[in-house]
Chain A
Amino acid sequence: MNKTIAEKIISEHCEREVQAGDFVVAKVDICLVQDGTGPLAIRQLQKINLEKAQNPQKVVLFIDHAVPSPRKELSNDHITLREFARKTGACLSDIGNGICHQVIVESFVNPGDILIGADSHSCTAGALGAFATGMGSTDVAIGIALGKTWLRVPETFKISVEGDFQKGVYPKDLMLYIIGLIGADGATYKALEFDGETIQKMSLSGRLTLCNMAVEAGAKTGLIASDAVTRAFLENQGRGDKFREIKPDADATYERIINLRAPEIQPTISLPHTVDNTVTIEEAKGIKIDQVFIGTCTNGRMEDLQVAAQILKGKNRHPNTRLIIGPPSRDIYLKSIKEGLLEVFIRAGAVILPPGCGPCVGVHEGALGDGERCLSTQNRNFLGRMGNPKGFIYLGSPATAAASAIKGEITDPREVL
């Protein structure tokens, strides 16, 4: 008893009762790599003659960071992933399918699973009540080949949120506020467990936004108890039978408890060049913006695109502000076509990207020019992140991004909603 969600899930995967601080070797349910980290993982396995997948149906190789490939070197990396999939039977998620963190949630991960991913935002899947964490290529390579990994069981911070958001305030604003509050290293090595009335009422999409950014506070993972919202999502995805209730014990031991009130959260912006450099919209309003990017594994889901379309409908982007929209998966791309959202965006002057990581990772599509400022719904604003160390990245919610695209400067979404 008295276990956090992290302690419960890890205990189940190493057949003994563990607590924070223990070092364990645990069974891994799902491994993911992407085109930036997978080729190195595969070469590592080749080096020690261990090119195999222990559980190929649960190993997923994503080609999502550079899609379609902009250069021959990356096309060759993609070949490495496709060949490994052919040889081992591992699943290949090729160009057009979408971003690993979105697709893994749509199609693979279930409550109670342990997922390790060679991508720092692998913590996204914690929103389903799975223990999901990012690691490097070699760690995940060994996870692929042996079906296990070593873990230090993390201490947990409980973040409890009560009340309703004001109009124009979203889970992204809450998460930026939390990271600003505790700092970019405020939760290093810890698990963040989100709880409280606000989280219980939050859509799965919003929960994914919170867990996606747990790593931006240094955390090993973000976790949310599985409940009726999780069950409805899984049923909708055809995996209703995979639902399990995962929740902490009532007397679980937390290293720190942070109590927040949702009505007090304002639209929030991270200023360059760290995510914890946050201010309220009041303090950022009026900053001229050259490019707006709405999408990514953080904030490109249907409800994100719906609110952006609501704001952009019948409007035009500011003539000095480029607008880029990136649906994060094939499923979301199709749904946003059916709902007419893409037409709204295109009429507003936007360019639509294929499902993928796009400008967020600085490889191609929407790299910034010298001195240019971008407002993005992504999770990171590090110097150089969008392909140019002379660019400036601001982070905000899809509503703030859409409002700012119209005005050409950082704008309070409550002015246009």
Chain B
Amino acid sequence: MILQGKVWKFGDDVSTDLIAPGRLFHLRSNLQEFAKHVLEDADPEFAKKMSKGDFVAAGKNFGLGSSREHAPTIMKIAGINGVLAKSFARIFYRNAINVGLPVIQCDTDKIDEGDELEVDLEEGKLINKTKDIQLTFPPLPPVMRKILSDGGLLSHIQKYKDFQLK
């Protein structure tokens, strides 16, 4: 799958509280509405500024904190194409795969806000078209690739009625 889009850049340690704030707890069962507030505490204007198909790029430890799956889910609903970061917090990474939001671990120092990217998930290749440079990133572990290719964990279980990760 090849993804293309423009980058919004964030710093290190973007917590799930910044992505999906606790004060909006009451929107957790209204995800379309919640998505209008995505990343609001990192950038209050973000949901208005972004367009479907954009990427979020950040520094290290993206998605630390709460296990709230609502965080990657509202990013996906808002139309974020994928998240690029130097590293990810464990629960967010797993949740993102489960809900079908691509997460790409790479050197985001070479990516700035507004850059146009082309990402090949299967090949593990990223082209920064604005800067005319190419980056590579490690492929997902096979278990996660399998879940992502089945369309997320729910679809995987629906398809096989069990884990079929071999």
Closest-by-CB residue of A relative to B155 is A48
Q: B65 within 8 Å of A by Cβ?
A: yes
A-B contact pairs, 18 of them (CB 8 A): A25-B165, A37-B67, A37-B69, A50-B158, A65-B25, A73-B30, A118-B69, A136-B69, A136-B95, A137-B69, A146-B162, A146-B163, A218-B61, A218-B89, A274-B13, A363-B26, A382-B17, A383-B18
Contact status A39-B22, CB under 8 Å: no
* Binary flags per residue of B120-159, CB closer than 8 Å to A gives 1, else 0: 0000000000000000000001110000000011100110
Determine the chain A residues whose CB is within 8 A of the CB of B165 once the complex forms: 23, 25, 150
Cβ of A8 within 8 Å of any chain B Cβ, yes or no, is no
In the complex, the answer to whether B87 meets A39 with C-beta atoms within 8 Å is no
Size bracket, chain A contacts: 35 or more
Give complex CA distance A148, B94 in Å: 16
B17 contact from A44, A80, A385, Cβ within 8 A:
A385
Q: Which of B15, B23, B60 has the most CB of A within 10 A?
A: B23
Interface residues of A (CB under 8 A from B): 23, 25, 36-37, 39-40, 43-44, 47-48, 50, 65-66, 71, 73-74, 76-77, 80, 117-120, 122, 134-139, 142, 145-146, 148, 150, 152, 184-185, 188-189, 215, 218, 220, 274, 361-363, 367, 380, 382-385, 387-389
B28 to A36, Cβ gap below 8 A?
A: yes
Contacts of A50 in B (CB 8 A): 157-158
Quick one: closest B residue to A41, CB to CB? B69
Q: Are B99 and A138 in contact (CB under 8 A)?
A: yes
The residue on B at minimum CB distance from A49 is B158
Q: Please tell me which one of the listed residues B23, B29, B91 contacts residue A388 in the complex, with CB atoms under 8 A apart.
A: B23
In the complex, chain A residues whose CB is within 8 Å of the CB of B91: 120, 134-136, 215
Find out whether the CB atom of B64 lies under 8 angstroms from the CB atom of A185: yes
Q: State the CA gap A388–B37 with chains docked (Å).
A: 14
Total A-B Cβ pairs within 8 A: 146
- The residue among A23, A43, A382 with the most chain B CB atoms within 10 A of its own CB is A382
- Interface flag for B81 (CB, 8 Å): no
A137 to B67, CA, bound (A): 8
Instruction: Tell me if A382 and B65 are in contact (CB < 8 A).
Output: yes
Q: Is B6 among interface residues, defined by CB-CB distance under 8 A?
A: no
The distance from the CB of B149 to the nearest CB of chain A, in whole angstroms, is 15
The residue from B69, B87, B142 contacting A185, defined by CB atoms under 8 A apart: B87
Interface contacts beyond A36-B68, A135-B67: sample of 18 additional A-B pairs, CB < 8 Å, sorted by A: A23-B141, A36-B28, A40-B70, A43-B29, A80-B29, A136-B67, A136-B91, A137-B67, A138-B99, A139-B95, A139-B98, A139-B153, A146-B157, A152-B141, A185-B61, A218-B61, A363-B22, A385-B17
On whether the beta carbons of B87 and A73 are closer than 8 Å, the reply is no
